[in-house]
Amino acid sequence: MLGTIIEKELKSIILSPKFVATFAACSILILLSVWVGIQDYQASVEQYEAALKLNQQALSERNWAGFATSAYRPPDPMQIFVSGVNNDIGRLSSISRAADVKLRNSIYSDDPIFAVFRFVDLTFIVQIVLSLFAILFTYDAVNGEREGGTLALTFANPVPRAHFILGKFAGSWLGLVIPLAIPILLSMLLVMLSGVPMTPAHWQKVAMLMGAALLFFTFFLCFGVLVSSLTRRSAVSFLLSLVAWVVLVLIIPRMGVMAAGQSIQVPSMAEIESMQEGFAQSRWDEYKNEAQERWKERMSQTQGLSAEERTVANKQKMQQWMLEDSQFRAKVQEEIAAYQRRLTEERRNQLALQESLALTLARVSPAAAFQLTAMTLADTDIYLKARAEDTMRTYRDEVLELAEEKAGKQGDAMGHAMSFSFTTRTPPEKVSDEDGSSDGSGSSGSSDPSGSSSGDSGGGSAKPGAFRMSFSGGGAESPTLDPAEVPAYTPPDRTLEAALAPSILDLGLLALYSLAAFAAAFLAFLRYDVR
């Protein structure tokens, strides 16, 4: 009897006019989304490779003392199926001593039109389109037969209610899932024929993604049968199912995020950047004042010497002075970078609390649980930015340490060796001492964040033997570096186990929601009036 009910349900679904329309629409959408995803991925790979070449060319024109580079996030084949936040976060970050790591130049910032309409990926189709189709085929599974009179005829025979409801579930599931597997398999074949470098780990993640999609689809099949078992008229069940779909898929996830945002306040990036810039400006102002005092003290040490003796003395000490200034400057840069990292870490901790609350509230919706699972499996989840920036900071520390070591070996003194000259001022023929007006030579110095330094001494009228001294930056050019010596940035590599561990909770919730909907529908039908 159970087999007969399943066969009847299968024929009812496959032979219905709405099945042809929905199957054609799903097939076109799935194949089109994967094809567009492949094109987008291949374009991203081309841009990534071009950016690397330009970065290598820029490196070949630099020296180790003035080292700066960029780190780029490489495209991942999983973005074909689940775009997640991949297009929202930046694709590169500058790597230098003067600034902390910060991702910038996202796809949506470069092309805002895509941010308006977003990216239609496989996750979107499952979450929105297939869930609606599941409700469309099951909202009248029970009350539709009661309205047609076939339900009373069926139970005029000795048919167990458990067999009937199980047959309804099995027939609906097989009638919808098996046909939809055809375009999915064709899309996988399209990926292979396109030459996308999918590893075994990628295929395993895709298989897990399909499993999560089946659980999500199964929930809405069970939910449709549940609503049909609780109502007497199919028009009422369709309306209730549609309202419930809007609440579960569209409203609850967004309301959860909004509620978390109001409960836990997190400073915006603009506020953090303003604080960082204010600290940096204040620290550089202090550095300039300290540098001026140092140069005045250094110049005062040679005040009693003749012009030639002063020239020789300053030449002997200039390299040491510039090295000391470079060390002071590096210390200021490290303090600024440490302050930036501290503010960023504090914001990240607050943001983690906010995200945890938001995700907890959003997971009440099966749609949110499925989306979080899909994004985690595809490594395009909300923590992608933090993972990329963490590895880039580690890379920054390593490559800057290497640059400092290389610059020291080249004797560049961090790129601030100085050439200088002395100019003797010709004393005037007559100097009036009656009013006691005489102006001895003084000294001043300045140094800015860019590394330029100058010392200057001079005066208005000078007594015989006074002189004017000036320094000009820019010593001998350091040899350019070899880009092959610069280590390449390695992006975070998450294995299947690392991606699956955070997904267990959401996969468990999807399974729990499906079982709960099935059990509720089963119990509701046991008490249903078939007349």
C-alpha dihedral sign at 246, 247, 253, 257: positive
Residues in the chain: 531
Q: Which of 388, 344, 374, 352 is nearest to 90 (CA)?
A: 388
Residue 452 has pLDDT above 60, yes or no: no
* Percent of residues, the chain, with pLDDT higher than 90: 32
State the Cα–Cα distance between residues 67 and 61, nearest whole angstrom. Answer: 10
Q: 365-377, pLDDT tens digit by residue?
A: 999 999 999 999 9
Q: 50-82, pLDDT tens digit by residue?
A: 999 999 998 888 888 878 899 999 999 999 999
Q: 279-333, pLDDT tens digit by residue?
A: 888 888 888 888 888 878 777 776 666 667 666 666 767 777 777 778 888 888 8
Residue 458 has pLDDT above 60, yes or no: no
Write down the pLDDT at residue 528: 84
Phi, psi angle pair for 59, to nearest 5°: -65, -35
Question: What is the secondary structure of 19-78 as a DSSP string?
Answer: HHHHHHHHHHHHHHHHHHHHHHHHHHHHHHHHHHHHHHHHHHT--STT--EEEEPPP-GG
Write down the pLDDT at residue 304: 65
Q: What mean pLDDT is reported for the chain?
A: 81
Residue 438 has pLDDT above 60, yes or no: no
Write down the pLDDT at residue 478: 59
Interhelix angle 307-362/269-300, rounded to 10 degrees, is 170
List, in order, residues 6 or more apart from 378 with CB less than 8 Å away: 76, 78, 79, 81, 82, 84, 205, 209
State the Cα–Cα distance between residues 378 and 382, nearest whole angstrom. Answer: 11
Write down the pLDDT at residue 335: 86
Write down the pLDDT at residue 350: 87
Write down the pLDDT at residue 310: 67
Q: 158-172, pLDDT tens digit by residue?
A: 888 888 889 888 888
Q: 387-432, pLDDT tens digit by residue?
A: 899 999 999 989 988 888 887 776 544 444 443 333 334 343 333 3
The two three-digit tokens of residue 159, written as one number: 């048919």
Evaluate whether 453 touches 418 at the Cβ level (below 8 Å).
Answer: yes
Write down the pLDDT at residue 313: 66
Q: 472-519, pLDDT tens digit by residue?
A: 444 445 577 888 888 889 888 777 788 888 889 999 999 999 999 999
Write down the pLDDT at residue 77: 93
Q: How many CA atoms within 13 Å lie on the side-chain side of 165? A: 23
12 to each of 268, 378, 445, how far by Cα in Å?
55, 37, 90
The two three-digit tokens of residue 112, written as one number: 């805002």
Q: Which of 298, 299, 290, 293 is nearest to 458 (CA)?
A: 299
For residue 441, count other CB atoms closer than 10 A to its CB.
19
237 to each of 137, 217, 227, 429, how far by Cα in Å?
12, 18, 6, 110
